[in-house]
Each structure stands twice: as structure tokens, then as C-alpha cells.
Amino acid sequence: MDRAKHILQEGGEHAVLMLHGLSSSPLEMRFLARHLNNEGFTAFAPVLDGYSAGTSERDMQAWVDAAVHEFDKLAKRYARVSVCGLSVGAALALAVVNQRPTAHAVVLLSVTLSYDGWAIPWYRFLLGWAYYTPLRSRWRYREASPFGLRNEALRAKIARAMQRNGISEVGPSTISLPALREASRLATRVRAKLADIATDCLIIHAIDDETANPRNAHYVAAKIASPFLRTIYLDDSYHMITSDNEREIVASETAAFLRESEAARGIGNGAKSQVVSKALARRLRQLAALGS
């Protein structure tokens, strides 16, 4: 597997550090990076040693250290730095802003603290034990359809890319057992630190996410200490919301939130403002009708 390349879109004085998913590449953030740059932001999606595809695997502390290092480099060059993460990258983003409370805002896309979506195999809970067996160095979790995508045409394209290259714009074809274990360790740390994070926060999650149940988003929204919090739920996407049917919504809502966070900095009474999308409201009405 070739080493991935970072994405840098130079823009204004507000830089956004963009963290892709586990064992994947900055390609996952390409569409969002382009949109943010068009909106005047500097967008940077780096390759992180030990975390990104094509690098030697390392433990989760190395992931955090690498991401914090990239944050610090941006902070020296730009007036404001926000952090945006996708999937396990969202958990990594929380770890970064916990260590760097000067971060302007944090954006959590399909935040994954638990692999508990509807497409996760029933034996997932056994993998923690398998790590301490000879399977540790041999077993790899293999991605399968729907590849985090509700869009069927894109799903077919990704399936071909997975077979040909072992990686695609929505992630790798396989993930190692040690990497999954380190992701679990990272999630445990993040859960313990949420109440200490007082950074403005946007959470976007698909209600049909097949990898990370929306409970992940609910948990973070309930525990984080952000004075300015917005939660948006999507109803026409799966896990890879930066590439799926509603990627334009994800991009526009992210840019809008960062602008509103800039405008609201230092203003407000500290009350959380949780936004439930029209998509979720419609789904709840449908469920209520079925129940009655």
C-alpha cells in the first residue's frame, strides 16, 4: 500500500486541522477541505505516522502526539486553529483539543467511540480477547459492503478501488487487530476527558450509520462541556458522511458553524444549544406513527 499524501488548501487566518479515519488517508477529507478553502479557511489534512495508511503502526499515544504536533505547527502560522475529525479521527480530534484548549472549535463527523453500528459483526466483542492470542499479528478486519456509503453508484466504485489498491477515498480494505485495540484505548481516554473539554463543538452523525450507532453522538453531546454545541443528524447517509449523499450538507454546516463560532466567541450565557435536524424529526414522527 502506497504512503498517503497530505492535503493542504491555503486560505485565511482560520486553519482547520482535518483528521481522517483509522488506518486511512486524507482522501476522506478531500471534498470537505476543498469546500472549507472556498469559504476562506485554510484546510490541512495530514498524514500521521503510526495512524495513517502506509505508515508503520504505533500505539494511540503516538497518534495523539502526532496530531498535537500538527496542531502546534498550524498554531504558529495562523490566528485560529480548529480541529475536525471523521470516525476514529473524531475521537482523535477530541484528544487533541483536550491537550490544546486554545483550539477555536472541534467538529466531530461520525464520531466513533464504539463500533456498534448495524453492520458490525456479532463477534466484534471478542476482538479484545483475540488481541492476546496468536491472532494478534494475523487477523485483520475486512471492510465489506456498504463501505460506509448509502450511495450505491459510489459504493460500486469503492468496491473496485478496494480490490485494486487495498484503499480508497473512504478508507482501507482491512484494519489490523492492534489498530482496532488502540482505537478502543483512545475511546476510553476520550470518554474520561469529555467533561474537561470546553471547546465549541459541532457533531454531525447519520441516524443510519452502520459503523457507529448514533448513541456515540448522543453520548458526546451529553457529556462534553462545550458552551456552544450543535448536533445535526442526517437521514440519507451511512458512516462516510464526507463522501456520501449528504456531503454538501456536511461541508456547508461545518463552514457555517465555524463562522458562527467566530462570531459568538466571548458572547453568550454558556447554555448548550442542541439542534435536532429536520431529518431526525421526520424519522421520529415516522417511528411514533408506527408505534401507535
Find how far residue 227's CA is from the centre of its chain.
Answer: 21
Q: C-alpha cell of 103?
A: 483550539
* DSSP labels, 236-280: S--S-TTTSTTHHHHHHHHHHHHHHHHHHTT-S-S-------HHH
**201 touches 228 (CB < 8 A):** yes
> Active-site residue among 82, 87, 168, 261?
87
Element holding 164 (H helix, E strand): helix 152-165
252: annotated active-site residue: no
Q: Residue 132, SS3? A: coil
CA distance 117 to 216: 10
Q: Which long-range contacts (CB under 8 A, 24 or more apart) does 162-168 make?
A: 165/1, 166/1, 167/1, 167/4, 167/24, 167/25, 167/53, 168/27
CA distance 251 to 230: 15
> Active-site residue among 200, 208, 209, 244?
209
87: annotated active-site residue: yes
CA-closest candidate to residue 228, choices 267, 195, 193, 256:
267
CA distance 42 to 13: 7
> Active-site residue among 23, 239, 243, 277?
239
**CA atoms lying within 13 Å on the CB side of residue 241:** 35
**2 touches 27 (CB < 8 A):** no
209: annotated active-site residue: yes
**Active site residue ranges:** 87, 209, 239
